[in-house]
């Protein structure tokens, strides 16, 4: 089943500001790497159905969302919780690192960590060097 697309800035803000951890894939139809990683994200979305909502944002169709999310690199995956960006991974390579990021987020959601515990655990993970960002950090892509 396809990952739902976010088609307005208003919808994006509503989803991001909810109390549920969510993951977004920022992509473009014209990007080969985006198209290559999309099936992996779709598979992950199916595995996470019911407890970790996943969405896509087409950067060509939603420039306002891209600006608000401060996206500069494709393919970008960003996790939000309680309105805060808690993790991001850009370029999604290698695939194994991307899968570890997603698996880590799933386990943390299952463990029902608080937002602060989630931030501390994700940001301190040694396996994901350079892939995670504390909420106050701006991307330097």
Residue-range domain boundaries for the chain: 9-128
Report which of residues 107 and 135 the model is more confident about. 107
Of the ranges 3-7, 103-107, 130-134, the best mean pLDDT one: 3-7
Q: How far apart are CA 74 and CA 41, in angstroms?
A: 14
Q: 4 near 48, Cβ under 8 Å?
A: no
Look at residue 131 in the predicted model and tell me its pLDDT: 35
Q: Regarding beta strands 54-58 and 76-81, do their DSSP bridges make them parallel or antiparallel, or are they unpaired? A: unpaired
Instruction: Judge whether 5 and 56 are in contact, CB under 8 Å.
Output: yes
Q: Which CATH number fits domain 9-128: 3.40.50.970, 3.40.30.10, 3.30.930.10, 1.10.287.70?
A: 3.40.30.10
Which of 47-61, 92-106, 125-139 is most confident?
47-61
- The pLDDT score that the predictor gives to residue 135 is 38
User: What pLDDT, on the 0 to 100 scale, is given for residue 69?
Assistant: 95
Q: List Cβ neighbours of 112 (8 Å cut-off, separation of 6 or more).
A: none
CA distance 131 to 13: 23
Enumerate the β-bridge partners of residue 56. Answer: 5, 25
Q: pLDDT value at position 123?
A: 55
The pLDDT tens digits of the residues spanning 55-105 come to: 999 999 999 999 999 999 888 888 898 888 888 777 656 567 667 777 777
Separation between Cα atoms, residue 67 and residue 8, nearest integer Å: 12
User: What is the structure's pLDDT at 118?
Assistant: 55
* Alpha helices, DSSP H, located in the chain: 9-16, 32-48, 63-69, 95-110, 115-123
Would you say the C-alpha torsion 27, 88, 62, 2 has a positive or negative sign?
Answer: positive
């Amino acid at each position: 089943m396809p990952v739902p697309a976010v088609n307005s800035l208003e919808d994006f803000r509503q989803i991001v500001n909810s109390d549920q951890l969510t993951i977004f894939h920022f992509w473009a139809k014209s990007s080969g790497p985006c198209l290559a990683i999309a099936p992996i994200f779709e598979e992950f979305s199916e595995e996470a159905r019911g407890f970790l909502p996943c969405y896509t944002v087409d950067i060509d169709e939603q420039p306002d969302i891209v600006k608000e999310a401060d996206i500069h690199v494709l393919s970008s995956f960003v996790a939000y919780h309680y309105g805060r960006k808690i993790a991001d991974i850009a370029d999604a390579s290698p695939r194994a690192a991307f899968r570890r990021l997603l698996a880590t987020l799933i386990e943390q959601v299952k463990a029902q960590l608080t937002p602060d515990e989630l931030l501390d655990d994700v940001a301190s993970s040694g396996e994901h060097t350079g892939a995670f960002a504390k909420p106050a950090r701006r991307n330097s892509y």
